[in-house]
Amino acid sequence: MALGEHIRQQLAAKALQRRLERTTEAAAASGTPVAEVAGTESARSRFEAMPQYQQVRIMREMGETLRVASPFFRVHEGAAGATTQIGGREYLNFANYNYLGLADDPVVAARAKAAIDRYGTSASASRIVAGERPVHRALEHALAAFYDTDDCVAFVSGHATNVTVIGALFGPGDLIVHDALAHNSIVQGAQLSGAKRLSFAHNDWQALDELLTRTRRDYRHVLIAIEGLYSMDGDHPDLARFCELKERHGAFLMVDEAHSLGVLGASGKGIREQCDIDSNRVDLWMGTMSKTLAGCGGFIAGCQPLVDMLRHFAPGFLYSVGLAPALAEASLAALECLLAEPERVVRLQARGRQFLTEARAAGLDTGLSQGFAVVPVITGSSVKAAQWANALFDEGVNVQPIFYPAVEEKSARLRFFICSTHAPEQISRTVIALSRIAGVAR
């Protein structure tokens, strides 16, 4: 690219970035009553005037101005694992959560198909009304045993699990404190609850200690919400420190294991195994079935009173259809495979270490990653993230960019999800290609 064209693109990108930031701020501050405009404008024009749509429009303009094709919503034509088919071409794939290769495992698939034959494709009702099936309780009992807890309750969505559980258990007069990089579902749940919400610096248990020392006495119940493995950065907290804090300050501790179940620990039992922590020191074990467990949905494992309350009062369970039996069976089968075949976890961890080691040796910025299933490569700008993703796609590598406003502009990145089914040569090939693309961009 000529120097003049490069400068023009950078100036255009910065101008559009400023517009996007202003629009994002406007979206947060917007409060114009609908009644003021509803009588004079069509629904289409009112939707187009919303700050959220303006953000979408500006992002499209950015792509057109910089001649960067959108890397999103590409159609995958089969099961996605270490490789995938897009547009009739095979790609190395680093854009899926099939960490242990169980989503397309023949045993798991056969169990799901048999469940369809027995139960049909839907539970067809909320479980409390008429949607309960034996496979639901079998999955919950297996997860409770896996976490060494009294019981477990499964929900139809991982995101909704955090939203409805936090929203149902806590309210005005309570405090929810979460890691600054916590998943959107934790933040949404805290907002829904009506409790006071505060965040602390990422993985900084000392900052949390100071925060609770100042505020704990002002609130009835306090929830500390952290993650087992952070999906943007690929690092994990010092769980022992957070357990000690929750015990000393009389708080509840919730650990979101969406990305750490099957990934951390010698046998894949998550962050408690990684950090050698007794399960009962954590009050709410949250996880999803859409990653390691090859299905869809979420769960909470914990003591019996907690699970009883959620079964009877969590809106996302009480008023939602039960988990599709085939998905419940698939996740149960995947959990059994995880327990029976720990070598899958060993391979996954080896591949993650390889990617991190080779990327760092190539001079790529991998941020905070500890080399498990998630390795970001920081590009430093949204434009570079999109350009690098598209350049890799041209070379047969599928990876997704993450850019503003999902992360700060200076933290824009490519996010690589590693699977146990990736071959060592596939990882090396990808790092070499990315290093070459990054070198040209510099």
Element (H, E) at 402: strand 400-402
Q: Is 160 left (phi over 0), alpha (psi -120 to 50) or beta?
A: alpha
Residue 200 CA, chain-centre distance (Å), reads 19
Beta strands 298-302; 89-93: pairing state:
unpaired
Residue 356 CA, chain-centre distance (Å), reads 20
| Angstrom distance (rounded) from CA 168 to CA 173 | 14
- Dihedral sign from CA coordinates of 33, 34, 35, 37: positive
Q: Which residue has the tokens 């890691």?
A: 179
R_g of the chain computed on alpha carbons: 23
Q: Which positions are catalytic?
A: 231, 259, 291
**323 within 8 A of 157, measured Cβ to Cβ:** no
**259 within 8 A of 227, measured Cβ to Cβ:** yes
Give the CA distances from residue 63 to residues 9, 373, 390, in Å, rounded to whole numbers and listed in that order: 11, 30, 12
